[in-house]
Amino acid sequence: MHKPAKSPNDLEKFFVERTNAGDIEGLVALYEPNAIVAYGDGKVANGLDEIREFFIQFLANRPQLDPSIQAEPLCSGDLALTSSRLSNGDITAEVARRQPDGCWLWVVDQFALGNEA
């Protein structure tokens, strides 16, 4: 069982930890069932099966991520906008939703925007 995100910014922290561990299912567990992940060149993974396939490819080269610099989440009710600056200067942007159990999952993930953004 994976540790649940008790705050919106836990999601990014868990993302780095699970990526570095090569934990595909742990990464998938950060998303709602109908979530979408945009990952460049107009490509979008819709739903957990496509998100899983994306992470299989993403983890194929065994990336090791440094902790990111997270902005304070911008919250409105059960929604939160999260964003992080990665060590290479890229920026991520995500929308998270509080679940009925109080934990958070991502609904929309702009995987990384080049540092020109």
Residue 16 lies in a domain: yes
Residues 20-31: what's their mean pLDDT?
97
Tell whether the model's pLDDT for residue 116 goes beyond 50: no
Strand 74-76 relative to strand 69-70, pairing: unpaired
Give me the CATH number covering residue 90.
Answer: 3.10.450.50
Show Cβ contacts of residue 9 under 8 Å, excluding neighbours closer than 6 positions.
70, 72, 73, 82
| Token pair listed for 108 | 């929309």
Residue 105 lies in a domain: yes
More confident residue, 41 or 93: 93
Q: Give the pLDDT score at 114.
A: 54
Residue 48 lies in a domain: yes
**What is the maximal distance between C-alpha atoms in the chain?**
38
Tell whether the model's pLDDT for residue 48 goes beyond 50: yes
Residue 29 lies in a domain: yes
Domain count, the chain: 1
**pLDDT tens-digit profile of 90-100?**
888 999 999 99
Domain that holds residue 38: 10-60+68-113
Tell whether the model's pLDDT for residue 26 goes beyond 50: yes
Residues 13-25: what's their mean pLDDT?
95
* Residue pair 69/81 in contact by the 8 Å Cβ criterion: no
State pTM to two decimals.
0.91
Tell whether the model's pLDDT for residue 20 goes beyond 70: yes
